[in-house]
Amino acid sequence: MTLPQNQTHPLIWPIVAAALVVSWSSGFVGIRYASENADVMLVLFWRTLLSGLILLPFALLIGPRIGARALIQQMMFGVATMFLYLGGFALAIGQRVPTGLVALISDLVPLAIAALSQPVLGQRLSGRQWIGTALGVTGVLIVSLDSLTLGTAPVWAYVLTVASMMVLALATVVQKRLGTINMPIHQSLCIQCLTASVLFAACSGWNGGLMPPLDTRFEFGMAWLVLFSTFFCYGVYYMSLRRYSAAQVSSAVYLSPPMTMLWAWLIFGEPLSTAMFLGLAMTLFGVWLTSSRGALHRRTARLGSCEQPVG
């Protein structure tokens, strides 16, 4: 339930929105920073393991008893939304796909859900949603083609970002079709993190081991990803959903790609261009067209446990 706007000070929302945009985009930057001197799978292993272990006592002591069916569902969701979705994006960032482009593609999830709703759920798309989807995809293509000329990442890494985004969208639509099991976020996030950590451990072990590098960059990056990109981000996100409408909160989340592009330019020297901003504006407008207020409210409620800030 959201509070009427007249019950909150008008300056509170801009502060909350700024915190949400910065923390939401921080996961992309944190992955890029921590993986400078470490394998990206190792970064994700320690990030998910530490997050899950911190949440574990709260998940066991606070909230309803976790049944076998709920546990299995959340483990499967962890495989899809953390291991495949986060792992794919992080691997693309590790291959030096521009960080802002990765953030932009991750924000295409509402468009992908809209497109998948017709074949999976039998829900027809309106003309406005089709136009929005086309604009969103066109915008990403503009940014991607410009990034290909400016960057050094292999083509398969760009394809991987799109595939990762589609995994999350498909998992969300399938979960809606099968029916969801209500579970507090700290319990579901704990199960998903620990499940993903096992899989990331296997990948990291295959690549060379699980021992983290003993350097300040990795330690700072890990603290950033766990404390800021995970716990602070989720806290602000769910606090925002309680006080404001889902459409208003989501409109702030969609501003994370330009913030990510700016961070990547300032910290890592990733190039910016006019074509990138043109494609970005076109994609954000397409997302806005596709996400009607009613559909956006339902969609955001379901994406709460699966839209992982990359972290």
The pair of structure tokens assigned to 71 is 């546990």
pLDDT, one tens digit per residue, over 91-122 is 888 888 877 778 777 777 766 666 665 555 55
* Predicted model pTM: 0.74
Better-predicted residue by pLDDT, 169 or 181: 169
Res 2: pLDDT: 46
Mean pLDDT of 265-277: 77
Which tops the pLDDT comparison, 137 or 189?
189
Quickly count: other Cβ atoms within 10 Å of residue 251's Cβ: 17
Flag whether pLDDT at 16 surpasses 90.
Answer: no
Is the pLDDT score of 194 beyond 90? Answer: yes
> Mean pLDDT across the stretch 52-73?
89
Give residue 206's pLDDT: 84
The pLDDT value recorded for residue 3 is 47
Express each pLDDT in 18-51 by its tens digit. 888 888 888 888 888 888 888 888 989 999 999 9
How far is 187 from 178, CA to CA, in rounded Å? 20
The mean predicted confidence, pLDDT, of the chain is 76
